[in-house]
Structure 1
Amino acid sequence: MRWTATGLLVLMAGLFLVSRQFLPIHPGWGYANAFAEAAMVGGLADWFAVTALFRHPLGLPIPHTAIIPENKDRIADTMAQFLRENFLVPAVVARRMYGMNVALAVGDFLVTPNSGPDGGSERSRITGGAAELLAEVLESLDPDRLGNQVRTGLAKQFGKIDISPLLGRMLDSAIADDRHMPLMDGFIRWAGLTLEDNEETVREIIHARANAVLRWTGLDERISGSVLDGLYKLLAEVLVDPEHPLRGKIEEGLEKLAHDLQHDPKTRERVEAMKRDLLENPAVAEWWLGVWERIRQSLIRRARDPDSALGEEMRRGLAELGNALREDHRLQLQINRFARRTAVGIATRYGTQIVRLVSETVKRWDAVTITGRIESAVGRDLQFIRINGTLVGGLVGVTIHAVDSVL
């Protein structure tokens, strides 16, 4: 555009020189000469005005030229003040944010990439960045301190739960649905295997409690054998007979335990005491720290492994979050309210720091930088001013010549 404006000025100069040669031939050349002469004046005047904004015309230090480089600090302060008074005003920010649905925009962003041409890579960048951030956070935190904090938080929440009624209701429900039967069968089998592994111990106990006559006659061996055979037979009968009386006794005991867990204060207090002892046991704390460290290391490895399922889980989570933000209007209302209050709070608390950042950044630019950036933004329109000045000047010149010819 600069070359176009300059070329038009040169064209007017050429027209002026040519028209002067043909003035005696025809009166029309007088109009062309007046047009060219005034166009040169207008073009040169606007060239001077446009150039004076950014630099000294022809390098001459004419007063009130190179306006932008000479006044860049004042321009910076003016820009910052304009930004502060017209954009970073809490009322303006609130009014602008009130018309924005931030939650819906975020939801669209999280859901739409699946259908876009490069949606996969966009989503991968998001999940990859989130996974790396998660890994770095887990690595930067003190594992022992974090593990203790998590354990303390879980223990505090678990300590608030009255576990006895919960166990009682679970046991009641299991008995009502016969879900306790496999557990009872497993307990009977476990009792049989335990008895088989400890036959010698049972025989020694009976032998130690028998008197000398029984030991001398060897009856203690028969008695211990009979006792073991009777126990094996009893366990076998209970295991194969669902209607065995011993099963009924066990179920009665379980039903009473379920009732006591829910309604007996002494039983509930004993269960609560056991829970407190368990939570305060140092061995449990050591066990939890080991579990937490394994969880932490596993999360770090999965976050750093591009082939792990963590990335797919995060992608599904982001998609579900996006759908929720798009479809749940109450959630949108809450998030938009939070975003609006946050933006207003930032404008209120940090508006001065933001405009100071703008002002200081512009002031740090050198004259060449600020001139180049402003000229690249508005320079094309300024060249149109030169072109318009040339054409308008020419029209004014023709008008004056026509009026002078009439008079």
Structure 2
Amino acid sequence: MTEAVLVLEDGRVFRGESFGAIGETIGEIVFSTGMTGYQETLTDPSYKGQIVAMTAPHIGNTGVNDEDFESRRIWVDGYVVRDPARVRSSWRANRSLDDELSAQGVVGISGVDTRALTRHLRERGSMRGAISSSSADVESLLARVNAAPTMKGASFLADVTTEQTYVVPAVGEKRFTVAAIDLGIKGMTPRRMAERGIEVHVMPATSTFEEVAAVAPDGVFMSNGPGDPAAADHAVALLKQVLAAGIPYFGICLGNQIFGRALDRGTYKLVYGHRGINQPVQDLTTGKVEITAHNHGFAVDAPLAGQFDTPFGPGRVTHVCLNDDVVEGLALLDQPAFSVQYHPEAAAGPHDAAYLFDRFVELMQTDKTGADVQAGA
């Protein structure tokens, strides 16, 4: 095996063996706590610009198949594991994880003490890092790491969004039409909506309000995605027009942060973020606690209790993370618009939050019938 090295911007060095492609990569290093679902993690566009370290020690045992991709390719900029599986054991697999990483040019490292790495990132925060299996010159790598851009202010929407609109047809009878703005959408999301009778028009992140309106949508959706929400000015401006027009809105992850900005709330970078499929969230409207899938390094700044003023009437926080009190959901009280910070499509992850797609359907149905409803109810 080829030796490899992981260098963090604060000078911490981890040594191991190459995993995946031979080469060098630089990005923000973060950790994911999911014990399963690594294929969905790797193909989640929200990881663009990041090197992902897996806290679960044994990765690769189910190999790679062609059904579990959440997008057209692997998006992580690098991959860190402790003990890669020597063989794939799932009947669904048709190639190994190592082979897939190599085929897609993803540089990784194995044999790393990922527990020590995770503790380091929890104490000092996510930071830039480099993996190299082509050079062992730590000082040179460290210099390149510290010269690389940070995640703050970064925008990758042009990289991950669709180039042109495509339609995911409703399953069975068509009940609604939704314009889904692709900020890095995962494939399961429009499928979850299609299962509920929604025809989903997945549109580029650069779409204008006029283009959205031309679809004649019953609702507008904004997806998850990578980068700093403070850099997503076009999406914020588009959403303000959607809200001003009174069109029902549902957003997840980056779509939640865009919603927060459209409501004149700020966003900020978390110390090490939430990434994994085991994050506890409480729905403040029902009191129910859900175990949810997360992938975010930024959050919305809003008061957890009571209401707050917005340009579109009063708003409130609807969901909160029980680990650290981070805002995990928002809603307007006087019009049909809400969002959550996590991933209710459960790819990979638990199905506790699937009801949110039903809530979106109810909002669109209520909007059609003209009844009075609160988005967060």
- State the TM-score, normalizing by the size of structure 1: 0.17
Structure whose residues are more often helix by fraction:
1
Which of these two proteins has the greater Rg computed from alpha carbons? 1
Structure with more relative contact order (C-alpha pairs < 8 Å, separation 6 or more): 1
- State the TM-score, normalizing by the size of structure 2: 0.18
Structure whose residues are more often strand by fraction:
2
